Structure 1
């Protein structure tokens, strides 16, 4: 039996005085959350906002080490059963006590969420055979297949209060609506604040799309009070105005200033900054399944992206080192696999993805496209660091080898629903490993979707590799760490060899802030008010 029992001590910086506890913290966000609903879309800005209001059973520190959250401890029986002992003395912001019923209701809601984007979080609960509660502070989860990473996966799932719906006895019985007798909550109720009831350190005061999100300290929070009475999260999607606002005193903290602009604050005693390597890989996902793809035009009328030689040629056409140096200003690392080397399940010495335009042209000719073809690259312009500039650069590289590439850039609020509907041919993506190991990307994007939707939930390009599917299905149910690592390495090699996903680089998170503050950068790139404290004096 594997047992997990972690200290519940929370490290908190010394608060300067009562004056500091009355301050408002103003944060300029690089990418605006698209909803307050913690189950609406598994997206970093949304998940970061949710953590202020809704806590998870398991927490993660800045380096993604697991810590107790609403669960004080957990254990696995070596097979399919996980038992979680819940934290006692916790109440929701509406005064209702936190119990196992709320957790079961939350699990049910992920499968009864009509307003979600894609299958956000249902890929976790879809593997649950049963969830029971022997007593109000104990939760027992039986999974259909063994799930070695269940605590890691649950660290991203915000817990709701069952009090937000009409219900009888809550049970994990999806066919019987889990005991819910009224309508299931929708995203609108969270955004207007009426359903935004959590156990976190903050409460939602207001959410105005395109303007600001205002949080206020939760007086019933079970942990130590945060120093900020109010937090204002302000969407400022352009890096220039974010830095200008910091310099002018309009913001206390900003996300992702352009690395090239950091020289404006270096040596200025009024400001400081932190650069933290992240696990987020930036990549392109290709439509490799359809005979006619919506944004591809070739003389033969076919979809060239179905040919692995064409996909390899596209990879060879891209100069990753130049993108990192010139567009990312060195605040990134070229990616030759889907998680940084050295992390669990990665290849120790991955083969470099070469820049070779001559070989790219040769492969295109071999595939029957000596004159290339036309393609549109679809991208966000307000989600990842320099996302539209990166896509423009890739389009230029492709054009140089004969692939006439155009760019269609759009706000992420439009982009992500369209991508989920499989409307694109070549689509940018960014994925940070929520579990801290290679399974995170490999179970979400490349697999053929299974019936329970626990695998392949984001396989929008129709990639299918039977050998890969067999390996990843075994890997994600293998409890032996050494064996799982080997399987994940094999799975990663298989995906890379097919070029249906073309990795570019790993982002670094950058934060700039006033010098009277301390900020801990996070590997998951979450911008949390809880990571910002007044500097000890």
Structure 2
């Protein structure tokens, strides 16, 4: 869920000015000739692995964070994108998301909709769990029912499911109480994975401590916050996958260390988060860095529930929302790799146009008038942020934007555990404002559900429920795709700006660096679920061991 044009700003384009001046103050892709197909030959992809390379070998990967200790290894409880990345190597869903956010078959080879509340899924008949047992309709039914009963973060995303029924061994029918447009997109993420329900129900498998799925890899070893070893599932149903024998994942929180590992060849693929990293790797021999667009986006929480917060007055919230220069955040703090966004993530089909919103028009005089009406002309507030890059740079642009309307922002930078305690530890939360990010998902209506705190839960400590806003969210998620839904999305985006308790800012890019002399990879150009490892089973080693 969570991690989540004006001039005169004094922030440099990143932290390494000399390097970035050479790169034109841009963190764009750096690449060398390699064995991955370039994007122009495969629309929707940044790279496509060379399937003519021989299968085999081991791929060494470094990423910054492990799956959450709190929720264990149960995919249905996973609420962080970092966990989705690792779990997607073992678990699979009924459907998946294609390169342009289209819903594609996965464990279900096809589906029918007899009416607008009924989905009939036709399951593949050649799928086995990695213990050798065939997947059946009972596993699908049990998995979906278990998710609904768990009441986890993802349960609400599945929508108004009324019943799940096995029609026969390879057919499952899902009935909804009412139309729910994002249903298939909600089934495409790791928390909707199909689990081996027979083993879970008879007690021979505890999904919190052991992973057993239908995916391309099995877990051979795991040391929390240290490493993973995934080995190929020899019975995997996709022909010619996985393309490697094993994936060794090291958990390396320091980005500089991951960059060094990529440069010296001790890692063949790394995930990157700092927008300076592509420029820092510019010219590195045999290294490619690809910047993946994301529906993830940064947002600002303005606490309306704590009596000492200045944001109990909606006029103050609206003024701050109007004055923040999203374009400057994208250009300066994110090196041109992010984009201003409304509540529906920019880049998703059907999303609203952020330039048409009050925040896109940046009427500073109107913002000053609102502050004057609220008696808050000399407003000072504290902004709590986590220290992970590029959040500090985003906060500095916010700080300097608000100086233009006479607002002083005092930035409090915390490590993530302390930040979480401050923002989510009490109700009401004892903070003025906080910066975070959301995974934006694969349908424009999905993330909007978090603007209903009664449904989301996590934000009850700083956000008040609004009946009008909730009604618009429900409309967006029940109306079929088309002009009527587009109009409803436009209305919802405007209402979120007016409410301004959670303020969308800019999309959050991610980057993947890899050794072109070691591995050939596939990567979507845009990713809805924050998972740059989604296509890792297609990777081929250039020199298989």
TM-score (normalizing by structure 1) = 0.80
RMSD: 3.1
1:491 offset after TM fit, Å?
1.3
1:136 offset after TM fit, Å?
1.2
1:361 offset after TM fit, Å?
4.9
1:373 offset after TM fit, Å?
4.2
What is the alpha-carbon distance in structure 1 between the residues aligned to residue 515 and residue 418 of structure 2? 30
Aligned to 1:24: 58
Aligned to 1:173: none
1:217 offset after TM fit, Å?
0.9
Aligned to 2:247: 231
- 1:139 lines up with 2:181 in the alignment: no
- Report if aligned partners of 1:337, 1:350 keep a CA contact under 8 Å in 2: no
What is the alpha-carbon distance in structure 2 between the residues aligned to residue 83 and residue 26 of structure 1? 40
1:483 offset after TM fit, Å?
1.8
1:381 offset after TM fit, Å?
3.5
For structure 2, the residue ranges without an aligned partner over 5 or more in a row are: 1-47
What is the alpha-carbon distance in structure 2 between the residues aligned to residue 13 and residue 161 of structure 1? 33
- 1:375 lines up with 2:408 in the alignment: no
Summarize the alignment of residues 441-456 of structure 1 with structure 2, pairs less than 5 Å apart.
441-442=447-448, 444-447=449-452, 449=454, 453=455, 456=456
Aligned to 2:319: 313
1:393 offset after TM fit, Å?
4.6
- 1:279 lines up with 2:304 in the alignment: no
Change (3 A) 1:462 1:91: same
Aligned to 2:108: 71
Summarize the alignment of residues 132-211 of structure 1 with structure 2, pairs less than 5 Å apart.
132-156=165-189, 157-167=192-202, 189-190=206-207, 192-193=209-210, 196-211=211-226
Which shows bigger deviation, 393-402 or 56-65?
393-402
Q: Structure 1, residues 277-316: CA drift from partner, whole Å, max 9, x if none?
A: 222221112332x253xxxx4xxxxx32121221123234
What is the alpha-carbon distance in structure 2 between the residues aligned to residue 420 and residue 496 of structure 1? 26
Aligned length: 480
- Report if aligned partners of 2:344, 2:351 keep a CA contact under 8 Å in 1: no
Aligned to 2:92: 55
Q: Structure 1, residues 486-518: CA drift from partner, whole Å, max 9, x if none?
A: 212211221122222222211222211101333
Change (3 A) 1:213 1:358: farther
Aligned to 1:493: 494
What is the alpha-carbon distance in structure 1 between the residues aligned to residue 422 and residue 149 of structure 2? 18
1:264 offset after TM fit, Å?
4.2
Which ranges of 4 or more aligned residues in structure 1 deviate by more than 6 Å? none
TM-score (normalizing by structure 2) = 0.79
What is the alpha-carbon distance in structure 2 between the residues aligned to residue 108 and residue 60 of structure 1? 22
Change (3 A) 1:104 1:408: farther
What is the alpha-carbon distance in structure 1 between the residues aligned to residue 348 and residue 441 of structure 2? 16
Aligned to 2:267: 251
Change (3 A) 1:205 1:350: farther
Q: Structure 1, residues 197-230: CA drift from partner, whole Å, max 9, x if none?
A: 1000011122222211221111121113312211
1:92 offset after TM fit, Å?
0.5
Q: Match of 1:242, SS?
A: helix
- Report if aligned partners of 2:243, 2:538 keep a CA contact under 8 Å in 1: no
Change (3 A) 1:84 1:424: farther
- Report if aligned partners of 2:324, 2:398 keep a CA contact under 8 Å in 1: yes
Aligned to 2:411: 406
Q: Match of 2:509, SS?
A: strand
What is the alpha-carbon distance in structure 1 between the residues aligned to residue 538 and residue 392 of structure 2? 29
Summarize the alignment of residues 107-118 of structure 1 with structure 2, pairs less than 5 Å apart.
107-113=144-150
Change (3 A) 1:336 1:120: closer
For structure 1, the residue ranges without an aligned partner over 5 or more in a row are: 1-10, 168-181, 298-302
Q: Match of 1:406, SS?
A: strand
- Report if aligned partners of 1:314, 1:360 keep a CA contact under 8 Å in 2: yes
1:535 offset after TM fit, Å?
5.4
- Report if aligned partners of 1:133, 1:139 keep a CA contact under 8 Å in 2: yes
Aligned to 1:512: 513
- 1:533 lines up with 2:535 in the alignment: no
1:358 offset after TM fit, Å?
6.7
Aligned to 1:90: 127
- Report if aligned partners of 2:159, 2:183 keep a CA contact under 8 Å in 1: no
What is the alpha-carbon distance in structure 2 between the residues aligned to residue 341 and residue 64 of structure 1? 10
Change (3 A) 1:25 1:229: same
Aligned to 1:215: 230
Aligned to 1:323: 329
What is the alpha-carbon distance in structure 1 between the residues aligned to residue 503 and residue 89 of structure 2? 34
Change (3 A) 1:535 1:259: farther
1:44 offset after TM fit, Å?
1.5
Aligned to 2:390: 386
1:519 offset after TM fit, Å?
2.9
What is the alpha-carbon distance in structure 1 between the residues aligned to residue 303 and residue 245 of structure 2? 48
Q: Structure 1, residues 417-466: CA drift from partner, whole Å, max 9, x if none?
A: 9638654643333233322x321222x211253xxx4xx45544434332
Aligned to 2:3: none
1:84 offset after TM fit, Å?
0.5
What is the alpha-carbon distance in structure 2 between the residues aligned to residue 235 and residue 50 of structure 1? 14
